[in-house]
Amino acid sequence: MLKHIPDLMPPELMKVIMEMGHGDELLLCDGNYPKFGCPERCVRMDGHGIREILDMLLKFFPLDAYVEHPVALMAVLPGDPYKPEIWEYYREIGEKHDADGLRDETIDKNAFYTRGQRCYACVATGEKALYANVILKKGIVK
């Protein structure tokens, strides 16, 4: 047992984020995300949503301060009237943990899948919200 590690943090995820270096990316994918858009390394957290995982991660995980957009969100498909309410929750969590917030960008679905495949690892969640997928670029601890 260790002190101050959240109960939510699985040992495998702690290992993964400790192994990651500056510029490596971590994909947090919702329950609808396809396997072909994932890297080989995958941590399963099916019983949890991305909001709670993001809140836990950003306590430890520095976002890259040397890029304009260290966070990528999957853009809504053209013609889809859906407005992802979950993004505002993500931004609130980002402001809580980083003075500059998330500094997110949206990228189209196919580009997101391609980028997701190249991530260091992914966290597969049980998130039910649509367009909830997010990629985090790791920064450095100053």
| pLDDT per position as a tens digit, 38-54 | 999 999 999 999 999 99
Q: What is the pLDDT of residues 103-132, one digit of tens each?
A: 999 999 999 999 999 999 999 999 999 999
Q: How confident is the model at residue 2 (pLDDT cuts 50, 70, 90)?
A: confident
What architecture is the 25-137 domain classified under in CATH?
Answer: 3-Layer(aba) Sandwich (3.40)
Domain residue extents for the chain:
25-137
Catalytic residues: 22
14 phi/psi in degrees, rounded to 5:
-60, -45
Q: Could you give the residue ranges of the DSSP H alpha helices within the chain?
A: 11-19, 50-57, 86-97, 109-117
Question: pTM, whole model, 2 decimals?
Answer: 0.96
Rounded to whole angstroms, how far apart are CA atoms 18 and 5? 13
Residues contacting residue 47 through CB under 8 Å, at least 6 positions apart: 126
Rounded alpha-carbon distances, angstroms, from residue 61 to 65, 83, 115, 131: 12, 27, 19, 22
pLDDT the model gives residue 53:
98
What is d(CA 136, CA 73) in angstroms, rounded to the nearest whole number?
9
Checking if the pLDDT of 89 tops 80, the result is yes
